[in-house]
Structure 1
Amino acid sequence: MLTLFLPLLLAASPAAADPAPRLSSAEARMAATVDAEYERSVTLLERLVNQNSGTMNLPGVTKVGAMMAEELRGLGFNVTWKPLPQTGRAGHIIATHGGAPGTRRLLLIGHLDTVFEADSPFQRFVRKGEEASGPGAGDDKGGMVVMLSALRAMQAAGTLRNANIEIVLTGDEEDSGDPIAVARADLIAAGKRADVALDFEGLAIEEGRDMGSIARRSVNDWTLTITGKSGHSSRIFSEAFGDGAANEIARIVAAFRTELPEANLTFNVGLLASGVTAAIDASGSKASAQGKSNIIPAQAVASGDFRTLSEDQTQRVRTKMTAIVARHAPGTDASISFKSGYPAMAPTAGNQALLARLNVVNRDLGLPTMPPLDPLKRGAGDISWVAADVDGLVGLGTASRGDHTPDEVVDLSTIRRQAKRAAILMSRLSAEKR
C-alpha cells in the first residue's frame, strides 16, 4: 500500500527545502513564539520527567496528568481526569477546546506513562546542551511538551481561538489496562468525533532526515498448546506413541516460519516449553516445564505475537496459522488461540494526503520534505485505535534515541521545529470546513 500511494505523495510534496519561507503574519508569529518559549518548554519537560510515571505507578501517572491539566486549562481547555480503576490503571486526560462551528475537528494524542516504574534506577532529567537523558524524555513527555508548545504558539497568534480540538492523553499506553475495550473507549469515541488525528509520539529520523509516519502495524498475541502421549523415550516415533509434544510444537513453529512470511508481517515466538507437564503462567511472561530426558513429553506450550499492516492481513495470518495447527501429527492434539492487542493503522490515501499537507508546511518553513517512514520501523501505538475512523499522522513529538532503555536521550532542538510544524498545520486544518 505504501508503494501504491508514494507517487501521489511525491507529486503533492515539495522536492526539497524552499529557501524562501512563505508564512502568513500569524504563522510567523507562531514560529517566533516557539523559539522565544524554548527554555520554558525544556523546563516543563524537566518537571514532567522528574515525576516518575511508570504505568503501574498510579499516583505518579495521576500527578503527571495534573501537571498537564494545569497547562491545558491555562490555554482555555476544559479538562477532565478520567480515572479507570476497573482496568487497573490510573486514568486518562481528556481536554476539549470549542472553536468556530462547522470547522474541522482535531484530535491530539499522547500518553502520560512511561516504561520506567518507581523502582527503576533511571529517574532523573539530565541536560547536556541540546540533549537530555531521562525516563520518558522522548517517549512521550517530549511529545506532550511539543503539543503544548504548539498550542501556546497558536494562542499567541490568535489561531487557537477558533480551533475545535480534543486531546486524549492516555495513562497506560506502555502497558494497556484490561479490558482493553474499557481502557480505550474514550479514545475510540474521540476518534469518531474527529476529522483529523495527530499523534505526538517521537519523530523518526533516518540518515539525518526527518521522516513522516502514516502507518503503524498491529500487535496480535497467540498461544499454541500441544498434547501427546507420554512414555519411555525408547518408544518415541512409534505408531503407539507418536512424535511427542516437543517435536510436534517444533514442527508447527517451523511451519509458521516457512509458510507465513509476506510483506509487512513479522512473527515471533516469545516463550516455549515442553515436558511431561508444561504451562505458561497467568501473566504470560513465564513458562515452566517438568520432565526427564528418558520420558516422551506429553505437553508443550508456546506464545508469541505477530504484527500486520492491515486488519485484512491480520485475519489472513490468523487463518493460515489455524490451518497449520490443524495439520497436527497423529498421536497429538493441537490448538491455537489469539488475543488482539493494538489494531493496525494502514497507510491510507487520507493519511498520505495529510503528510502532503505537512510537507507544504515544511516548504513554507524552509524545511526539507519528510518522506514516508517504512511502517516496519514503527511500533504499535494509540492512534491505531482511531485509524479506522479518521485520517491521521504519527511522529509529531521529539526525536530521541534509546527509548525504553536507561539510555533514553531526547534531542531538545527538535522541540522547535516539531512545535512549529504542528502549530501551523493545526492552524491551517482547523480553519477549514468539515
Structure 2
Amino acid sequence: MALGCGLVSGCGSDSGTPTLNWYVNPDGVETLTELAEQCSTADYRIAIQLLPSAATDQRTQLARRLAAEDSSTDLMSLDPVFVAEFANAGWLLRMPDDVAAEVSGGDVLAGAAQTVTWNDGVYAIPQWANTQVLWYRKSLARAAGLDLTKPVTWDQLIDGAAKADGTVGVQANKYEAYVVWINALLQGAGGEIVSDTEAGRDAKVEIDSDAGRSTAQIIRKLADSPAAQPDLTVSNEGTTLPYMFGDGSPGEFMVNWTFVYGNYKGEVGDSITQADFDDLAWARYPQTVAGQQSKPPIGGIDIGVGAYTRHPEFAQAAARCVTTNEAQTALAVQSGLMPSRSSAYAAPDLVNAYPKDLLDLFRTSIDQGGPRPKSAYYAMISGAVQARWHPPTTVDPGRTPAESAQFLSDVLQGKALL
C-alpha cells in the first residue's frame, strides 16, 4: 500500500492540505502515531508509513525510493549508520543553520550529535538515542566474586560467569548487532574498524591492529568458555533475555539495549517474580582493556527530510516537532526509547518511570559512547566484517583481524564482492 501510494499519488493531493509521509521503523509505533497526530497542523498532516523491522531492510526500501527521486518520502526515521550514506548521495536535505546550532549546542548528547553530521553539515535531527549497558543479577555477581560498582573487564565477566555457572549474553548472529559488539570492543581498546571515512572507498582500514587482536581474543575466549550460551552463533537481542531468569539458573551478565528494564518489569507476576526483578542490576559497558574506559555502543533513530519532498519547509518543521523534549520524553516513558537530549532526562514522567542511577547510566553511556564508522560505504563495511568474523567460534586472534582487513579493503576497492 505504501509503495503504491508513493508511485501513484504521493499520498497527498496537489490541492488542499498536503500529507507528509513519515517512514518509521517498528519501534514505538503507537507513540510515533500519537506524535504524528500532535504535530500535524492546519498546513499539513503527517501520515505514518511502516518500514521493515530489520535495519538493513529499512535502508534498502528507503534507498530505492530516494534513488528514484521519490517526492512522497518526506520524513524518515534513520538508523544513525545510514545518515552519512544518504547525505553523501544527496538524498537528505541539509538542516537550516538554526537547527544545526541546536543539534550541536550542548543539550544533544555527544554520542547522538555525532551521528547526524556529514562534511560539516547537519542532515538529520536525533530523535531518540540507544545504548548498551551491562545487565546482570546481583546474586550472580556475588557468586562470581565481582564488585560491579567498579569498572569490569570482559575477561573478568567471562571468568566470573564460568565460576558461578552463569552465562554471558551477547549478540553474535551474522547481522548488524554483531558488528555493534565488534566495534565497541575495538573502540574500547583504542582502535576502530576504519578511519578517514570521508575518503570514501579510500578510507584507511584499521581493524588489523592490537585493538583488533584484543577484540578477537575476547570473542574467542567467550566462544570457548562454558559461560557461552548454547545459541551463541545465532544470538540476538531477544534470545539472550531468557537466560537472566528461569529454570533455576544463576543468571547471566548480558550486554543489551535500554529496552531491557521495561521488558523485565513487564514480566513481573507473569514469568518472573518481584524478587527476581529486585535482583536485576546494571553497570557500565565492560572494558576491553583493563583501566581503559569502555565505549558503549550508540544506536537510536535520527529524523531526516527527503531531498525530493514537495514540501521542504513543512517537512523540516515536522522533523523539529517530533524531536522536541516532550516528544522524546513520551517515547522514553511509553516505549523505552531513551532521549538524545540531556535535559529530557529531568522530565518528571521519565524520572518516575526509571531508577535515577539507571537514567544517569543511560545518559552517560550515550554521551561517552562510540558510534559505528560514519561512512557513505557503511553497508559494505558492515557486510565485510560480518563475512570474516562470523561465526564467533572460528574467530582467531592471529588470523581474523588480518584476513578481515584484507577482505574489507578489497570490497571497498571493488576487488571483491560480499
- TM-score clears 0.5: no
Q: Structure 1 or 2: larger helix share? A: 2
Smaller-chain TM-score bracket: under 0.3
Structure-1-length-normalised TM-score:
0.24
TM-score by length of 2: 0.24
Which one has a bigger Cα radius of gyration?
Answer: 1
